[in-house]
Chain A
Amino acid sequence: MKNAQNRLTVLAASVAALAMSMSMSATAATQGPADNSFYDAPAAMPSGNPGTLVSYRSTKVNLGANTTAHSAWNVTYKSTDAVDVENIVSGTVIVPSAAWSGTGPRPVVVYAVGTHGLGNQCAPSRQMAAGTDYEANNINAALAKGYAVLVSDYEGYLNGGLPTYLAGRSQAHAVLDMVRAAQQLNGAGITTASKVGVWGFSQGGQTSAWAAEVQKSYAPELNIVGFAAGGIPADFIKAAYFLDGSFGAAFLASGVSGLKTQYPDQLPVDLIASDSGLAALEKLQGQCVFEALLDLQNKSLSAFTKNNFGLDQILKVGGVKQTMLDQNLGTTTPAAPMYLFHGQADEFIDISQTTTLKNTYCASNKQVKFDLYPSEHIVTMTQGAGPALAWMADRFNGVAAQGNCSVTTVPASTSATTKGGDLIVNLDKWKLDAKIHLKTLNQDVILPDTSTLSVVSNISKNSMTGSMNVPDFKSRVSIIGINAQVGIRVTPVDKVTGQTSLDAAGQLTITGTAKTDITVTTVWGVPFGECKTVTPVIFPLSYKGSVGDLGAGKVTFTGTADFPQIKGCFISGIISAMMSTKGNPFTFTIAPPAPKSTY
Chain B
Amino acid sequence: MTIMRDKPGFNWLPVAAGALVLAGGLGYWWTSHSPESEDRPAAAAAASQPASPVSEYEALMNKPVSAPASDLPEVPPTPEQVAEAQKVATEQVQVAQKLERPEVWKPLTGGIKDKPEYVSPMEWQMLKGVAERHPDPQAELLRLTNFLRYNKLLEKWQDLPKGSDPALRQALAEQLSSELPARVANGEVDAKDALQQGTTMLRDAYPTDAKARKKAEQSLAAQIQKAAQPQ
Contact = CB atoms under 8 A, between A and B. Distances in A.
A576 interface: yes
A480 to B, nearest CB: 4
A473 B26 CA distance: 20
B126 A487 contact: no
A529 to B, nearest CB: 6
A442 B26 contact: no
Given A525-B39, A525-B78, A564 B126 contact: no
A567 to B, nearest CB: 6
B212 to A, nearest CB: 27
A480 B19 contact: no
A526 interface: yes
Contacts of B78: 525
Contacts of A437: 66
B72 interface: yes
Nearest to B78: A525
B151 A529 contact: no
A479 B16 CA distance: 20
Interface string B62-96: 01011111111001111001101100110011000
Interface stretch (A284-292, A341-349, A580-588): A580-588
A570 B72 contact: no
Contact of B12 (A444, A525, A572): A572
A332 B187 CA distance: 69
A571 B120 CA distance: 10
Given A476-B72, A481-B130, A574-B148, A535 B187 contact: no
Given A481-B125, A483-B56, A528-B19, A535 B1 contact: yes
Interface in B27-44: 27, 37, 39, 43
Contacts of A484: 84
Interface string A416-455: 0000000000000000000001001111111010000000
Contacts of A577: 127, 144, 147-148, 151
Contacts of B132: 480-481
A583 B228 CA distance: 13
Interface residues of A, number: 51
Contact of A573 (B66, B71, B123): B123
A443 B65 CA distance: 6
Contacts of B189: 580, 582
Nearest to A442: B65
A274 B27 CA distance: 83
A303 interface: no
Contacts of B120: 574
B2 interface: yes
Greatest chain B CB density within 10 A among A483, A487, A583 is at A483
A574 B78 CA distance: 23
Contacts of B76: 525
A477 interface: yes
B69 A574 contact: no
A528 B57 contact: no
A562 B1 CA distance: 10
A481 to B, nearest CB: 2
Given A528-B23, A534-B1, A571 B69 contact: no
Nearest to A576: B151
Nearest to B159: A567
Nearest to A487: B72
B155 interface: yes
A278 interface: no
B188 interface: yes
Contacts of B4: 534, 567
B71 A474 contact: yes
A578 B69 contact: no
A485 interface: yes
Contacts of A535: 1-2
A525 B31 CA distance: 12
B85 A475 contact: no
A189 interface: no
A67 to B, nearest CB: 28
B46 A483 contact: yes
A411 to B, nearest CB: 33
Contacts of A562: 190, 193
Contacts of B1: 534-535, 564-565
Contacts of B88: 523, 571
B12 A570 contact: yes
B60 A574 contact: no
A567 B39 CA distance: 27
Nearest to B193: A564
B69 A446 contact: yes
Given A478-B60, A526-B27, A583 B187 contact: yes
Given A448-B71, A482-B126, A526 B77 contact: yes
Interface string B129-146: 110110000000000100
Contacts of A477: 69
Given A483-B60, A565-B154, A570-B89, A524 B77 contact: yes
Interface in B88-134: 88-89, 92-93, 120, 122-123, 125-130, 132-133
B222 interface: no
A569 interface: yes
B81 A526 contact: yes
B133 A573 contact: no
Contacts of B151: 565, 572-574, 576-577, 580
B171 interface: no
A488 B67 CA distance: 14
A573 B152 CA distance: 5
B123 A574 contact: yes
A527 interface: yes
Nearest to B190: A562
B77 A573 contact: no
A474 B128 CA distance: 26
Interface string A547-584: 00000000000000010110101111110111011110
A522 B84 CA distance: 13
Contact of A523 (B60, B85, B193): B85
B70 A570 contact: no
Contacts of B130: 440-441, 480-481, 578
A574 B46 CA distance: 23
Contacts of A522: 77
Contact of B69 (A444, A524, A525): A444
B85 A446 contact: no
Nearest to B121: A482
A571 B37 CA distance: 24
B189 to A, nearest CB: 8
Given A442-B65, A482-B122, A567-B4, A524 B188 contact: no
A527 B61 contact: no
25 contacts: A443-B66, A444-B66, A446-B68, A448-B70, A473-B72, A475-B69, A479-B126, A480-B57, A480-B61, A480-B126, A481-B128, A487-B72, A524-B43, A525-B39, A526-B81, A528-B85, A565-B1, A570-B89, A571-B123, A573-B148, A573-B155, A576-B147, A576-B151, A578-B144, A582-B189
Given A476-B70, A480-B126, 14 more contacts: A441-B130, A444-B67, A476-B68, A477-B69, A487-B72, A524-B84, A525-B75, A567-B158, A574-B123, A574-B127, A577-B127, A578-B126, A580-B151, A580-B189
